Structure 1
Amino acid sequence: MLIVWGKNDEYFPESGAEAFKKDVKNIDYNIYDTGHFALEEDGDEIIEKIRGFMAKVGSVK
């Protein structure tokens, strides 16, 4: 599972992302210094993270 989360998100706090660690064994956990609109602030980096993850799991060639 890929987790990409803004640590300053007022709607979905970082504790929500942290909870996945308890139940998911294979996790790519990424917290960005941003808020709710992480893609607007760190979009290029997050897009590359998504592409890399998808390639790793074999969904994108």
Structure 2
Amino acid sequence: MREHRPPTLIVWGPHDGYMPEGSARAYLRDLPDAELHLLDAGHWALETNLDEIVALTRDFLDRTLS
């Protein structure tokens, strides 16, 4: 990842007891241009914040694949 640095979207629930916010930020060491979104969510962010994640993903794909 450090060498190729692909466009990257990171969507994270920082209230996750297993993978806290620092885990998400660790990706930025290898992918400093990654787009990071911290939601008001925990480990099951797709179940609690699906609409928000879908919107972020669509926007990211529209911008990076155009």
TM range (shorter): 0.7 to 0.9
Match of 1:31 among 31, 38, 53: 38
TM-score by length of 1: 0.85
Within 5 Å, give how 1:10-21 maps onto structure 2: 10-21=17-28
In the alignment, is residue 49 of structure 1 matched against residue 56 of structure 2? Answer: yes
Query: Is structure 2 residue 14 aligned with structure 1 residue 2?
Result: no
Percentage of pairs with the same residue: 39
The one-letter code of the counterpart of 2:12 is W
Q: Which of structure 1's runs of 4+ aligned residues deviate more than 4 A?
A: none
> TM-score scaled by structure 2?
0.79
Where 1:30 maps in the other structure, the secondary structure is strand
The alignment partner of 1:57 has SS state of helix
Aligned-residue CA RMSD (Å): 1.3
